Amino acid sequence: MSKLLLVRHGITEHNSTRRFAGYSDVDMTAEGYAQVEKLSDRLAKEKIDAVYSSDLKRALVTAEIISARHNVEIVICPELREANYGNAEGLTFKEIEECYPELAKAIASFSPGELNFPGGESFEGFVARTSTFLDRLNGHHPEQTILIVSHSGPLRVLLCALLGIDQSFWRQLRCDNASLSIVETYPQRAILNLLNDTSHLGNSIK
């Protein structure tokens, strides 16, 4: 059995204002750093054998803060980036409705085959790109614990893939900022032990 710790980065200004931040390399806010410190405290006694992180700094800094207590090298994985929203980067949904009404309809209805961000990725391309990360897990031995630090979108893709859930159910999963989800993997199956847990944040969660 391998134990996968799936972590989302701490909150950013884009998250707070509900703006689409995909490839935009935004930093966490002071609150985001505080969230990650609390998550790091929670994981301090966890045995972590490997750490993988998106190369965007909000995720990479989250991985650095957590891994500092475990003396494990971080493997940077561009495939764990958030979706590339192209021309919609930095916009709110209301602004997308005004500028790209057809895109807004596709987002609202969540039709995976039709969701394509102008100048960015299609949803299907995003899923295919993110799913390549799973190949990195093949070389790990059973009984290892692996930390994966990424963004809401890629983490939900990985959860669906690991659990054998069709990606059309992607939107029905939730990964809040600085949340922890845990999946145990076996040769024939994966078991979800924890989903979107933020109990370590106490009253700071919004």
In whole angstroms, give the CA distance from residue 173 to residue 47: 27
CB-CB contact of 101 with 41 (8 Å): no
Task: Name the residues annotated as catalytic.
Answer: 9, 151
Q: Give me the DSSP letters along 39-97.
A: HHHHHTTS---EEEE-SSHHHHHHHHHHHTTTT-PEEE-GGGSPP--GGGTT-BHHHHH
**C-alpha closest to that of 31 among 23, 20, 39, 43:** 39
If one counts every other C-beta atom within 10 angstroms of the C-beta of residue 49, the result is: 15
Sole residue written with tokens 């979107």 = 196
